[in-house]
Chain A
């Protein structure tokens, strides 16, 4: 029996390599993120909770039609408005509901939205969507719409700071529709 064979078959010195490997990993930084204390910042394209701006919405229902599982519910009515002395009819939003529980965050509603910047977008980087009651996540109710203008945020959504521009993917950086 050669010395090498003796060392590997009796003393299993080849296993020391494995021990050395794990000993090194004992010292390295851990991959675990201790979640509640430390949060990861999602990537810019991360699709999280909705942002919705009632002001920008033109009630075209494109998102409602684009939704593959029909969880967007939109109600509106026509109102007479006077623009430049002429009477015109304009759609006014009554209801904009999303069944967040069933949403799969595919982002098709955002793609379908014709306004610039988008009236609905998913890149709010919010992923803490758990609620204590079913009702809270049942609908994306109007009184909880995420919007930049004085709307109460959905639970978990961090309200933007004053003057912060919406994070619109492919948007024109806040340029209003001409």
Chain B
């Protein structure tokens, strides 16, 4: 494994293909689980016709979207209109290059040496994730504007306003974690939680709460789905998109949900670490591979996403703004100060 072609080309390529395929499939199946679960929450059954209990539903949906007519509105701004789906799907997938799915593994001895299951670990992963995932907003705004449709435009504007309101408290919530971990690298943050013998959700519950709520708001999900509020805006920014272009928006939304869930897992729930990593008597939990722990935590967050959607009504736009600026921003700042003071006093960080 010293051949540079293998190390620098083949291995990353294989990883990219695996991660992209897995994420795309996960996003597709997330839509199935969402429909099933929302059905269960509403005492319905949800889709259960295609295949056993409807497990082939996402594939049927994908085939349907493939075969749909591709409509471009006559008065749309063509280039921008076409680049909208690209602008949203690319950041949503690129973010996964730095999400650490697990520690270096040799796949139960299949590989001659241990390789990390994530694509790369850069020392500014957190900033990378925040920056790139915020870039996806361009797909929404430009798509909404270029559709030449009032509903799309309103949806895009709302999405932008929402992003600005919620990016700030979310950033402060993450800074609290950075103070505790002393690093911007996601892998180092997980390792720091191992060394601190505690998941950061326990010292930083307020930060976690704010992060997750802001994450729900940023991914435009219920109860903060104002950019695509069906009751007011038809379908918001993707009203005019059909066929595979719509599928891209759809996929990006679900991929972003996975991103926020993964980040919550890494920052607050110890990434691939088992529960209470320092308690020796829980050692039997180590038989479960770390990747499975990671995926289980992500799945739990995704469940919460769908649970919220099935439970809460949509908030009004002024409520959304008030919550972001008047509640979460001061609370996250205060939380930051408290955590910083505690670290200075007790030397929790590095």
Contacts and interface: CB of A to CB of B under 8 A. Distances in A.
Q: Do A and B bind each other?
A: yes
Given A11-B209, A19-B307, A19-B311, A26 B41 contact: yes
Contacts of A26: 37, 40-41
B312 interface: yes
A22 B43 contact: no
Interface string B39-61: 11111110010000000000000
B80 interface: no
B327 A10 contact: yes
Contact of B43 (A11, A31, A34): A31
Contacts of A28: 43
Interface string B203-214: 000000100000
B289 interface: no
Size band of the interface chain A makes with B: 10 to 19
A28 B44 CA distance: 10
B349 interface: no
B310 interface: yes
Given A10-B331, A30-B45, A15 B37 contact: no
Interface in A1-41: 9-11, 15, 18-19, 21-23, 25-26, 28-32, 34
A69 B310 CA distance: 46
B44 A22 contact: no
Nearest to B205: A11
Nearest to A9: B327
Contact of B44 (A9, A18, A19, A32): A32
Nearest to B310: A22
Given A10-B327, A11-B209, A18-B312, A34 B41 contact: no
A25 B43 contact: yes
B209 A22 contact: no
Contacts of A22: 41, 307, 310-311
A34 B45 contact: yes
Nearest to B42: A25
Contacts of A11: 209
A10 B327 CA distance: 6
B345 to A, nearest CB: 23
Interface in A31-65: 31-32, 34
A103 to B, nearest CB: 31
B44 A21 contact: no
A21 B311 contact: yes
A32 B41 CA distance: 12
A138 to B, nearest CB: 31
A121 B331 CA distance: 72
Interface in B301-343: 307-308, 310-312, 327, 331
Nearest to A18: B311
A23 B327 CA distance: 27
A1 to B, nearest CB: 11
A5 B25 CA distance: 43
Nearest to B327: A10
Contacts of A29: 43
A26 to B, nearest CB: 5
Contact of A32 (B45, B310, B327, B331): B45
A15 B45 contact: no
Interface in B54-74: none
Interface of A: 9-11, 15, 18-19, 21-23, 25-26, 28-32, 34
20 contacts: A9-B327, A11-B209, A15-B312, A18-B311, A19-B307, A19-B308, A21-B311, A22-B307, A22-B311, A23-B307, A25-B40, A29-B43, A30-B39, A30-B40, A30-B43, A30-B44, A31-B44, A32-B43, A32-B45, A34-B48
Q: What are the 10 closest A-B residue pairs judged by CB atoms, nearest first? A: A22-B311, A32-B45, A22-B41, A31-B43, A26-B40, A18-B311, A32-B44, A30-B45, A30-B43, A10-B331
Given A19-B311, A22-B41, A25-B42, 6 more contacts: A11-B209, A26-B40, A30-B40, A30-B44, A31-B43, A32-B44
